[in-house]
Structure 1
Amino acid sequence: MKKYIVGLLLTGLSSYFLTSCYELDLNPLAQGSSENWYSSETEIEMALKDGYRHEFWPLDKEEWTDDYVYRETNSSIVNGTLTGQDGSVTDLWSNQYKAIARANTILANMEKAASLGISEAKINQYTAEALFLRASRYASLISHFGDVVYVDEVIDIDEAFNIGRTPKQEIIPLVYEDFDKAAAGLPISYSGSSSQRATSGAALALKARFALYMGDWKIAAEAAKACMELGIYNLYPNYSELFLSTTRNTEETIFAIPRSVADKITIGNGTVLNAISRNPGGWAAMDPSWDLLAAYTCTDGLPIDESPLFDSHDPFKNRDPRCTATIVAFGSRHLGYEYNPHPEALEVMNFNTGKMQKNNDTRANAQYASFNGLIWKKGIDETWLANGMDVDPDKIIIRYADVLLMYAEAKIELNEIDQSVLDAINQVRARAYGVDISATDSYPAVTEKDQNKLRKILRTERRMELAYEGLRYMDLIRWRLASKALTNKSYGLLYPSSLLIEKVTSQGGWFWPSTPQIDEDGIPDFSAMESAGQIAVLSQRLWNDRQYLWPIPTKEILINENLKQNEGY
């Protein structure tokens, strides 16, 4: 019997992908459904919906970047110890190829679809959707691994174990071609939901992202512009509300994978507990870094080491509004409590009771409160405390603000800087300030046209706008900044709290004793405060340049002699 490599769906899968409960890791040698599946339009729809599993659409992790701290611990990427056995490596490789194999199987069965009486228009749409799924997964693989195994048809198991890697320069045009066909064949929107299934705009947006990652600036600019010119996407008016679980399917969301508490598709209790503060019962272990706090410009548009508006003792004052929308400001109300990590703030207001209570968000009371005093706010509200501390916001894969910034970046790199570039950036910035782009007296509109200066502004804008969305990692990779950003130190507050009081707060030095300097790449320098003994080193980041490409999973190398490893592993 011919045995096909991973990817065919079992006939018992659920009629809707969110509620499917069959095992993802299907046995590739047990393909009983290959002969009798795709026998109706319903089954084809089910097969396509399977392509939207969360496992097939992973986001890169904040812990791989300089925007994040986990107490005194680094991830394997930040530690420079990534190997072919790492779970992130093996999961990305295996799940992307499962998705690709299933897309290829759908495409191989489109002739059967014609015999079922399905209209040519529907067949073309289904074909385009499968091409979208395949292109997006190859884009993910190439962005992380470089040269990869390229398969665009169903192959048998013997072929699978003997095929080598194809140079990415040969695959990239094929991925673009798939995205183009998808954009041409997919609808602009669906009735009732335009962001939870592939659309023409999603194909154009993800093509733009892939081209940007590959440094194909002209292709990126053209794809982003085509997405913009569809005229159906707009920036959601309220940046803070955009990421809440109560805000779904907005006109800014181009493509998202939905979650549902009812269907037990959530971000996970552990993620919630690690992100929220300790007073309402969280752990505050995985937190924004000081590097990220330092990245937000002041309300005059200048970095903190250049702006007269910045006060290191009150670091949330006079900052771009996305700062306090992303990181909880000291003294503000958060999840029903005042948030204050000050070592002498032994009590805080519990707004639920209207009374003061013990403050578990200061390390003076709770040793494992945030080690650097910062906690996440973006997307977090009281709904995170319900359902056993689990929550179901949409997993936003790409949104319109990103498309605007990608368009601007591509045009900057082409040195084709015109008003459309400034408008793209200013639309994003004005929305952050809650005003129209024309209200230039109410936000620091960008007017700079020098390529080098505008490049720096754009990169800072991306960091402010897209923090905590899984995009910083690939920005560091493609800008080749990981070598700098991930080889410096991660800093936090002195501990025990008596030392923090002695060295900092009693001297009037809270929160930062002085202002860190920001270099041309947006990297802050806290060394003066470290040398003065005013701050603590939480960890030394130890990035290894071999990690600009991930290793091929070790088990794949062992079973296929034609599969060669990336350099340095």
Structure 2
Amino acid sequence: MKKLLFILGVTSTITFTSCEDMFTPAIENILDIETAYERPLYAQGLLLNGYNRVPTNSWSFNDVATDDAVTNDRASNFLKIATGQWTAMNNPLEQWRNSRSAIQYLNNFLSINDKVAWASSPAVTTMFNDRMKGEAHGLRALFMYHLLQTHGGKTSSGEILGIPIVLEHETLDSDFNKPRATFEESLQQIYSDLQKAEEYLPLDFEDITNASQIPTKYQSLNITLTDYNRVFGEHFRLRISKRITQAIRAKVALLAASPAFNSGNAAKWEEAANFAGLVIQQKGGATGIDAQGALFYQSGSVNQMTEGKNTSEILWRVDRGDVSSSLEADHFPPTLFGRGRINPTQNLVEAFPMSNGYPIHAENSGFNTNNPYENRDPRLKNYILVNGGTAGVNNTAINTALNSPTNDGLNKVETSTRTGFYMRKLLRQDVNLNPSSVSGQYHITPRLRMTEIYLAYAEAANEAWGPTGRGSFTFSAYDIIKAIRMRAGVGTTNGDPYLEQVKNDKDQMRQLIRNERRLELCFEGFRFWDLRRWNENFTLPAQGISIENNTHNIITVENRVFEPYMQYGPIPYSEILKYSNLQQNNGW
């Protein structure tokens, strides 16, 4: 049976107008795989399918399944996870089908790419082939990471398994009954793919200005400056690059070093620190941090990112597309014509320190229970809409109190907040949802941010070398956290005495780093995976605040239901039924 590349015709409505229509097969627009050899756009479609399936192409808001948020959307799949309605047959976090499908397309691409006539010039064809081969290996590694993060785990024997390693394009005659490799074998395969990707890809996709910058391996092909830029230039800025594969390696290594997958091997932490440190070093070290990086979603940053360009904060992102207002329509409060879907918890609000750097419950914090949102870490009001905060194009004051005269108040209507807070982060306040004058704005959805890499380094370096140890770098975990807190406006007027206190204690620094990660990456889909890899408690109730007559009362909004076996996600039950060699994670 011939392999198929793309089905260009879509089945249309069947009509019964004649015997010929009923019994004579129509000619279908189906291309043989061999057609792709002379039609590179079709071949590239296999690769682009991988880009289209990257899980971080859009926001997931799985924070709803953690202690950081709840939702007023009662049909939310993540609400089902939080409340115990999570099974191997109903797993909203499942990546088995999406990521394995992407790998199948990428394997298909890798099986044909050497045969494709990418250009009329053999030399240019060689460069195109190398570049897209590198992209395919990088993407395959990324999808294997998502599979490992989502489905790697302990079986009933206590062994930590990874995923089936599939490196060849599968056909109808293939053996699909493959066992899961060990976690370590899966990890090494990801590293292998990333290494291959780096061999083919440029550090960044940017035009070069001098022929001497053409890599040595292409100079012997008599490549011109125009030829090189045609393949590796700025037109491909949104494609996966060597720098991006290095950042992916840091993510993978952090997962592997974490308690859920690592039983005390300090070398794993050092490896993760080295991988993340390399990315940071190439970006200028601790002093290279983007001053506006924490507000990457606001106009000051978004407006710079035209023609595929990024700010120094953004490593990789989705094309910003057209102006839109859908994110704001989902998450603005009701008086701004939004649905208020994501409601940050009191748990998260309490995690933001005071502006002097002390946690709110510390002796020297100066926290005032009667005025709880003043003199706080500036990130609090940037990321969370608290009672009395302003939002929207007209800086409308939002009243979330129990006795609020508007529908923004606690549990007023089905689109009201359930916790006393609304999400502010990611939203463009210059979007107008008023039906009489709706106006959208550009938005940025990052796949990788430098802040994630800074925090990965801080976490790993602290475990490997302690708070102030630097390994082979010029910066420590302490240096990175200090730079992040200074950017946020924390401890800037008093030298951040709390940070100075904890830098002498590895355990205290660990908790501070984890808290900084919680704050900096909130609502970006990290908290759920972080709690799992840290073996942290998922059962803390989600709390809110009920404000009446200026009295603030903490309330329980939603109890969390997680069993111990849910520390690792399930393999889809349907796959377990089909394939006898596939072992399920314990408890599912």
What is the TM-score of this pair, normalised by structure 1? 0.78
Per-residue deviation at 1:361? 1.3
For 1:446, give the aligned amino acid: L
Q: Tell me, what secondary structure is at the counterpart of 1:37?
A: helix
Per-residue deviation at 1:374? 0.3
Work out the CA distance in 2 between the residues paired with 1:72 and 1:344: 22
**Does the 8 A contact of 1:289 with 1:490 survive in 2?**
yes
For 1:39, give the aligned amino acid: E
Work out the CA distance in 1 between the residues paired with 2:570 and 2:381: 37
Verify: 1:151 aligned to 2:166, yes or no.
yes
* 1:202-223, Cα deviation, whole Å (9 max, x unpaired): 1111110111011132221121
**Does the 8 A contact of 1:217 with 1:413 survive in 2?**
yes
Per-residue deviation at 1:72? 9.5
Work out the CA distance in 2 between the residues paired with 1:241 and 1:558: 46
Q: Tell me, what secondary structure is at the counterpart of 1:202?
A: helix
- Residue among 92, 95, 98 paired with 2:101: 98
1:165–1:258 distance in 2 versus 1, CA, 3 Å: same
* 1:510-545, Cα deviation, whole Å (9 max, x unpaired): 3xxxxxxxxxxxxxxxxxxxxxxx443222111122
1:239–1:253 distance in 2 versus 1, CA, 3 Å: closer
Query: In the alignment, which residue of structure 1 is the partner of 2:274?
Result: 222
Verify: 1:163 aligned to 2:178, yes or no.
yes
Verify: 1:36 aligned to 2:35, yes or no.
yes
Per-residue deviation at 1:376? 0.8
Per-residue deviation at 1:55? 5.4
**Does the 8 A contact of 2:354 with 2:490 survive in 1?**
no
Work out the CA distance in 1 between the residues paired with 2:391 and 2:90: 36
* 1:352-405, Cα deviation, whole Å (9 max, x unpaired): xxxxxxx33124865752122101111212454459687652221211111111
Verify: 1:244 aligned to 2:298, yes or no.
yes
Verify: 1:470 aligned to 2:525, yes or no.
yes
Matches for 1:72-471 after TM superposition, within 5 Å:
75-86=79-90, 88-90=92-94, 92-113=95-116, 117=122, 118-146=124-152, 147-191=162-206, 192=234, 196-215=238-257, 216-231=268-283, 234-239=288-293, 241-244=295-298, 246-247=302-303, 248=305, 249-261=310-322, 269=326, 272-306=328-362, 307-335=364-392, 336=394, 337-346=396-405, 359-363=406-410, 366=413, 368-385=415-432, 393-416=443-466, 417-418=468-469, 419-433=475-489, 441=494, 446-447=499-500, 448-471=503-526
* 1:402-450, Cα deviation, whole Å (9 max, x unpaired): 1111111111111343253222222222221299xxx775766833132
Work out the CA distance in 1 between the residues paired with 2:114 and 2:421: 56
Moved more, 279-288 or 71-80: 71-80
**Does the 8 A contact of 1:256 with 1:394 survive in 2?**
yes
Unaligned runs of 5+ in 1: 14-29, 347-358, 495-499, 511-533
For 1:295, give the aligned amino acid: A
1:280–1:383 distance in 2 versus 1, CA, 3 Å: same
**Does the 8 A contact of 2:118 with 2:129 survive in 1?**
no
Query: In the alignment, which residue of structure 1 is the partner of 2:212?
Result: none
* 1:107-146, Cα deviation, whole Å (9 max, x unpaired): 2123214796244333222211111000000001011101
For 1:565, give the aligned amino acid: Q
**Does the 8 A contact of 2:36 with 2:116 survive in 1?**
no
Q: Tell me, what secondary structure is at the counterpart of 2:556?
A: strand
Work out the CA distance in 2 between the residues paired with 1:473 and 1:364: 26
Moved more, 207-216 or 42-51: 42-51
Q: Tell me, what secondary structure is at the counterpart of 1:157?
A: coil
Work out the CA distance in 2 between the residues paired with 1:189 and 1:77: 39
Moved more, 321-330 or 66-75: 66-75
Work out the CA distance in 1 between the residues paired with 2:118 and 2:237: 31
Query: In the alignment, which residue of structure 2 is the partner of 1:565?
Result: 584
**Does the 8 A contact of 2:53 with 2:98 survive in 1?**
no
Work out the CA distance in 1 between the residues paired with 2:438 and 2:584: 43
Query: In the alignment, which residue of structure 2 is the partner of 1:356?
Result: none
Work out the CA distance in 2 between the residues paired with 1:394 and 1:75: 26
**Does the 8 A contact of 1:429 with 1:445 survive in 2?**
no
Task: Calculate the aligned-residue CA RMSD, in Å.
Answer: 3.2
For 1:88, give the aligned amino acid: P
Work out the CA distance in 1 between the residues paired with 2:236 and 2:66: 31
Per-residue deviation at 1:331? 2.2
Q: Tell me, what secondary structure is at the counterpart of 1:292?
A: helix
For 1:210, give the aligned amino acid: V
Work out the CA distance in 2 between the residues paired with 1:106 and 1:178: 15
1:85–1:259 distance in 2 versus 1, CA, 3 Å: farther
Query: In the alignment, which residue of structure 1 is the partner of 2:20?
Result: none
Work out the CA distance in 2 between the residues paired with 1:364 and 1:121: 59
**Does the 8 A contact of 1:11 with 1:33 survive in 2?**
no
Query: In the alignment, which residue of structure 2 is the partner of 1:553?
Result: 572
**Does the 8 A contact of 1:253 with 1:400 survive in 2?**
yes
1:56–1:459 distance in 2 versus 1, CA, 3 Å: closer
Moved more, 311-320 or 198-207: 311-320
**Does the 8 A contact of 1:183 with 1:200 survive in 2?**
yes
Q: Tell me, what secondary structure is at the counterpart of 1:136?
A: helix
* 1:172-212, Cα deviation, whole Å (9 max, x unpaired): 11101211222342222223478622111111111101110
**Does the 8 A contact of 1:236 with 1:242 survive in 2?**
no
**Does the 8 A contact of 1:110 with 1:127 survive in 2?**
yes
Larger Rg: 2
For 1:34, give the aligned amino acid: I
**Does the 8 A contact of 2:254 with 2:460 survive in 1?**
yes
1:114–1:168 distance in 2 versus 1, CA, 3 Å: farther
Work out the CA distance in 2 between the residues paired with 1:160 and 1:302: 58
Query: In the alignment, which residue of structure 2 is the partner of 1:349?
Result: none
Q: Tell me, what secondary structure is at the counterpart of 1:63?
A: helix
Unaligned runs of 5+ in 2: 11-28, 153-161, 207-233, 258-267, 470-474
1:364–1:458 distance in 2 versus 1, CA, 3 Å: closer
Q: Tell me, what secondary structure is at the counterpart of 1:229?
A: helix
Work out the CA distance in 1 between the residues paired with 2:510 and 2:398: 36
Q: Tell me, what secondary structure is at the counterpart of 1:36?
A: helix
Work out the CA distance in 2 between the residues paired with 1:72 and 1:492: 16
Work out the CA distance in 1 between the residues paired with 2:442 and 2:102: 23
1:449–1:43 distance in 2 versus 1, CA, 3 Å: farther
**Does the 8 A contact of 1:201 with 1:230 survive in 2?**
no
For 1:376, give the aligned amino acid: M
Work out the CA distance in 1 between the residues paired with 2:431 and 2:488: 24
Per-residue deviation at 1:329? 3.5
1:316–1:115 distance in 2 versus 1, CA, 3 Å: closer
Verify: 1:67 aligned to 2:68, yes or no.
yes
**Does the 8 A contact of 1:299 with 1:443 survive in 2?**
no
**Does the 8 A contact of 1:232 with 1:251 survive in 2?**
no
**Does the 8 A contact of 2:355 with 2:490 survive in 1?**
no
What is the TM-score of this pair, normalised by structure 2? 0.76
Identity across matched positions, percent: 25
Per-residue deviation at 1:85? 2.4
